[in-house]
Amino acid sequence: MTPEIRQTACPRDCYEGCEIHATVENGILTKMGGGPGNPYTANIICQRVRKYDERVYSPNRITHPMKKVNGEWVRISWIEAIDLAAGAMKKAIDQYGPLSILSYQSAGSMSALKILHHRFFNLLGGVTTTWGSLCGGASSAARLKCTGATVIQDPLDLKNSKGVIIWGRNPINTSIHLLPIMTELRKKGIPVVLIDPIYSDSVKFADKIYQPRPNGDGYLALAIAKRLIDRNLIDRKFIKNHTEDFDKLTLVLREYENVDLVEKSGLTEAEVDELTDLYGKTKPCAILMGFGVQRYVDGNEIVELIHCLGAMTGNISLPGGGVSHSTDEWRFFDTSLEASDQAIHKRKISKSLLGIDLFREVNPPVKVAFIQLGNPVAQIPNSQSVIRAFKMMDEVILVDSFLTDTADCATLFLPTTTFVEEEDVMGSYGHPYLTYMRPVIDPVGESKTDLEILQLLAEKLNIKGMEGSASEWIEKLLAPVHSHGITQKSLSAAGTLRSEENPVPFKDGKFYTDSGKFKFLKKYDAYQYAQESEYPLFFMTVAGSKAHNSQLEESVQMGLPEAFVHPENQSCCDLKDGETAELVSRAGKMKVCIRYDDRQRKDIVLLFRGGWLKTGWGPNAITEPLMSREGGGAAYYSTRVSLKRF
Ligand code: SF4
């Protein structure tokens, strides 16, 4: 049979939301490539998904239900699995009420039908759920405060830019479709710079990298703001007509001396001057933030401060300008289908501090956890607290395709399909296009889609309101964009369609706050680190090219994880490259292999995330349970460590 190309989309937790063209031969997925329907992602996908067939057909993938008996997994039928899952939920409800069930959902897949997970548990009467976000919580809170919305400028609008600052984002690993745009702009002599404590190969696509001190971004924004005012590089008309509380920001700025701000930012005076000139004298100049800037306890304030620069110069409202981070991937879908009005009971605990909060919530205690689209043990700061909390429960039901760290705490395993086996729709948090996902292969083994699993449970528990095929639900979920001409029928026929989302959301200085004006930050309370001398290094756990969040193939996690440090890093000057060292934080210890990299700052240890605790590759074994002050974001980068000879 000749190979057939089938169109779908990638629903992984990523800015790009690529259209995919999958090659299928005799029913087997053999190749993944980009599709042409989306002009932003046009024909290009990352190397993680180019090799997705390895994940789909991995010998480690579990494609049948299992229960744990005396600590060992035992294969069972779907009938028994659904009986056990429904029975555990019913027992918990009867004894303690619905709040004794935890529904944990993360971002393993961000497609439209995943909204129905919330619907199931709301129709069940309402259970314990989570608030906050492991990724963008701090940033979302900040943007809601200063602009009234979590919106972005269309990335294709960068073609109108006269300057671009990419702040806390590493495009080569997380936004690959920015790379051709950066190249194109630079060919025209338009400056493109990176601000990132971490040195990465993205530098090859930029004019320069500025490497501030980790958590120094807030001070850097203040230093630039002070200079913009001193050098009269602000847009007074824009500030007067479209903003409020500028006087409050100037009071914040008066608390600091220029020289202190520069020192705390970790850059040199000349570097801060260069950035001030670039942003103050170039119009339009775009700022694109990444998740890195906000993974701190004061991350929400840092994001607000960076937005203040956009409002001071007026760049925030210009085509080719804007201050963008990410938007809501479910904004195109009818979230009223979550049926939250049907939940009689409601309790939310922090996602970022899950383990700690599960211990606090004892009335009623959580007895059953239902986990989808995530690997909380590996992903949440301070893994040990999460493990302890799960171990106290009667039943931990995991919907996944692999035996992750969370599976080690689980009692029941329900095998789910991968995205190439599912019908769904993807709306990205990084661009305004929607793409149809169609099953390019049949489900592998006995795997079922999340929707099918929830429908089986609903039937068993006699819950009405979950019935319907994937395409019927897709049509209902797309209601908000029907007026854009996007329906189940039109989208499945076209593959990808652009929504009518405004490419320049704050055009003409209109914001979504109650006053319609941008609100400047009124107070900056920089996070103060304790025991800096004992733990002198910042622990940066960034996305690499091989793994998506914690989805690194177990077979790759061999030996020790590599920790990259500057050779003059005082903590490890007696260690040789390749030697084993111990990374120690206030929360724990892990063994690493030292790798020297003189392009990194001397005050960091860099690890690529994606690994698991059970292989010794899980960095959250030593992260502290810290959360952003607003938005419930995981403050991963506020953990400090020391390096010791092992
Ligand atoms: S992970 Fe991101 S870049 Fe890679 S294929 Fe998926 S959406 Fe595209």
Looking at ligand 1, which atom is closest to the CA of residue 48? 4
Q: Whose structure tokens read 């349970």?
A: 625
**What order of strands is seen across the sheet that includes strand 19-25?**
4-9, 19-25, 28-34
61, pLDDT greater than 70: yes
Residue 200: Cβ within 10 Å count: 22
The answer to whether residues 125 and 141 belong to one domain is: no
What is the CATH number for 254?
3.40.228.10
pLDDT band at 532 (very low <50, low <70, confident <90, very high): confident
Q: Is residue 2 part of a domain?
A: no
The answer to whether residues 459 and 345 belong to one domain is: yes
Q: Is residue 237 part of a domain?
A: yes
The answer to whether residues 347 and 274 belong to one domain is: no
CA 172 to chain centroid: 16
Q: Is residue 295 part of a domain?
A: yes
Q: Which amino acid is at 608?
A: F
Q: Give yes or no for residue 454 CB within 6 A of ligand 1.
A: no
Residue 254: Cβ within 10 Å count: 9
**For residues 193 and 199, is the Cβ–Cβ distance under 8 A?**
no
The answer to whether residues 152 and 293 belong to one domain is: yes
> 557 CA distance to ligand 1 centroid (A)?
22
Coil vs helix vs strand at 20: strand
197, pLDDT greater than 70: yes
The pTM assigned to this predicted structure is 0.96
> 329 CA distance to ligand 1 centroid (A)?
14
Q: Give yes or no for residue 46 CB within 6 A of ligand 1.
A: yes
Tokens of 98: 């619905």
The answer to whether residues 589 and 619 belong to one domain is: yes
State mean pLDDT over 535-560. 86
> 176 CA distance to ligand 1 centroid (A)?
8
Looking at ligand 1, which atom is closest to the CA of residue 34? 5
Q: Give yes or no for residue 478 CB within 6 A of ligand 1.
A: no
Q: Which of 7, 15, 18 to mutate to test the pocket of ligand 1 (most atoms within 8 A of CB)?
A: 18
The answer to whether residues 550 and 631 belong to one domain is: yes
The answer to whether residues 318 and 396 belong to one domain is: no
Tokens of 630: 């607003």
| CA-closest residue to ligand 1 atom 4 | 46
State mean pLDDT over 199-220. 97
**For residues 24 and 4, is the Cβ–Cβ distance under 8 A?**
yes
Residue count of the chain, please give it.
646
Q: Is residue 16 part of a domain?
A: no
Tokens of 583: 């990374």
Q: Give yes or no for residue 48 CB within 6 A of ligand 1.
A: yes
Structural domain for 83, as ranges: 66-133+335-419+445-464
**pLDDT for res 222:** 98
551, pLDDT greater than 90: no
Query: Which is nearest to 375 in space by CA: 547, 549, 258?
Result: 549
Looking at ligand 1, which atom is closest to the CA of residue 428? 7
Looking at ligand 1, which atom is closest to the CA of residue 10? 6
Looking at ligand 1, which atom is closest to the CA of residue 32? 5
- The whole-angstrom separation of Cα 86 and Cα 94 is 12
Tokens of 399: 């919907």
184, pLDDT greater than 90: yes
Q: Give yes or no for residue 17 CB within 6 A of ligand 1.
A: yes
- The whole-angstrom separation of Cα 236 and Cα 245 is 13
State mean pLDDT over 13-29. 96
Percentage of the chain modeled with pLDDT above 90: 93
**pLDDT for res 533:** 85
Q: Is residue 561 part of a domain?
A: yes
Q: Give yes or no for residue 14 CB within 6 A of ligand 1.
A: yes
For residue 267, what is the DSSP state? Answer: S
CA 527 to chain centroid: 22
Q: Whose structure tokens read 């990352």?
A: 46
Q: Could you report how far apart the first and last alpha carbons of the chain are, in Å? A: 57
Residue 481: Cβ within 10 Å count: 23
State mean pLDDT over 419-425. 98
The full 3-state SS of 563-575, as one line of letters, equals EEECCCCHHHCCC
What is the CATH number for 358?
3.40.50.740
The answer to whether residues 563 and 449 belong to one domain is: no
Q: Whose structure tokens read 């319907």?
A: 468
Burial of residue 534 (number of CB atoms within 10 Å: 0-12, 13-18, 19+): exposed
Residue 233: Cβ within 10 Å count: 16
Tokens of 457: 């449970």
Q: Give yes or no for residue 176 CB within 6 A of ligand 1.
A: yes
Question: Is the backbone peptide bond immediately before 284 cis, with ω within 30 degrees of 0?
Answer: yes
353, pLDDT greater than 70: yes
Q: Is residue 431 part of a domain?
A: no
**pLDDT for res 573:** 63
CA 599 to chain centroid: 26
> 48 CA distance to ligand 1 centroid (A)?
7
pLDDT band at 162 (very low <50, low <70, confident <90, very high): very high
What mean pLDDT is reported for the chain? 96
State mean pLDDT over 562-567. 95
- The whole-angstrom separation of Cα 43 and Cα 511 is 34
| CA-closest residue to ligand 1 atom 7 | 17
146, pLDDT greater than 80: yes
State mean pLDDT over 256-276. 97
> 455 CA distance to ligand 1 centroid (A)?
29
The answer to whether residues 261 and 284 belong to one domain is: yes
Q: Which of 8, 20, 21, 46 to mutate to test the pocket of ligand 1 (most atoms within 8 A of CB)?
A: 46
| Residues 6+ away with beta carbon under 8 Å from 572 | 565, 581, 594, 643
Q: Give yes or no for residue 45 CB within 6 A of ligand 1.
A: yes
574, pLDDT greater than 90: no
Q: Is residue 201 part of a domain?
A: yes
1, pLDDT greater than 90: no
Query: Which is nearest to 143 in space by CA: 388, 322, 336, 8?
Result: 322
Q: pLDDT, tens digit, for every residue of 366-382?
A: 999 999 999 999 999 99
Q: Which amino acid is at 605?
A: V
The answer to whether residues 286 and 144 belong to one domain is: yes
Domain boundary residue among 519, 554, 582?
519
The answer to whether residues 366 and 233 belong to one domain is: no
Q: Which of 15, 16, 426 to mutate to test the pocket of ligand 1 (most atoms within 8 A of CB)?
A: 16
What is the CATH number for 558?
2.40.40.20
Which alpha helices (H) appear in 215-298, and where do they start and end?
A: 217-230, 236-242, 246-254, 258-265, 269-281
Percentage of the chain modeled with pLDDT above 70: 100
Q: Give yes or no for residue 12 CB within 6 A of ligand 1.
A: yes
| CA-closest residue to ligand 1 atom 6 | 10
19-25/28-34 β-pairing: antiparallel
550, pLDDT greater than 80: no
- The whole-angstrom separation of Cα 586 and Cα 111 is 37
The total domain count for the chain is 3
Q: Give yes or no for residue 13 CB within 6 A of ligand 1.
A: no
Q: Which of 10, 326, 433, 434 to mutate to test the pocket of ligand 1 (most atoms within 8 A of CB)?
A: 10
Query: Which is nearest to 422 in space by CA: 474, 376, 374?
Result: 474
**pLDDT for res 569:** 81
Q: Is residue 34 part of a domain?
A: no
For residue 12, what is the DSSP state? Answer: S
Burial of residue 72 (number of CB atoms within 10 Å: 0-12, 13-18, 19+): exposed
Residue 183: Cβ within 10 Å count: 13
564 to each of 109, 295, 468, how far by Cα in Å? 30, 19, 50
State mean pLDDT over 415-437. 97
Which residues pair with residue 587 across a beta bridge? none
The answer to whether residues 159 and 98 belong to one domain is: no
The full 3-state SS of 458-492, as one line of letters, equals HHHCCCCCCCCCHHHHHHHHCHHHHHHCCCHHHHH
State mean pLDDT over 572-594. 91
- The whole-angstrom separation of Cα 618 and Cα 640 is 16
286, pLDDT greater than 70: yes
